[in-house]
Amino acid sequence: MDELFIIIFAMIGGTMRYGIDQLIPNSPLPIATFSINLVGCFLLALLNTTLVVSERVPARLSLGLGTGLIGAFTTFSSFTLEILNLLMGHDWLIAGLYTLGSLVFGLAGSYLGVQAGHKLKKVSE
């Protein structure tokens, strides 16, 4: 049954990712993947700080949202392929900035997600 929740939410997350990829025009900079992954960092941290630890939310729903929806929405494979393509195209500076920016801003997004989760939990108590 857990697998069904993951599959259903993964279809939604993958479709959302595809939609955002279509909305953001192609450029030499991987803006779509960068944006999607940063939003995913924030949302997964928020989810793990609020819903996952809540006894009111079924574990299957948390699993579907985290592993399914956010897992399919974000992508490490596209991130690494884009870095490789930048390096192969001799765009060393952009590749470095993309890698460093993804790490720094991803951590910042996760931190903000945790902080927002703590504030939401205080409000709901």
Q: What residue numbers does the annotated binding site for Na(+) cover? A: 71, 74
Q: What CA–CA distance (Å, rounded) separates 5 from 16?
A: 17
Binding-site residue positions? 71, 74
Burial of 93 (0-12, 13-18, 19+ CB in 10 A): exposed
Distances (CA, A) of 33 to 10, 45, 57, 116: 17, 18, 30, 23
Of 111, 113, 71, 87, nearest to 30 by C-alpha is 87
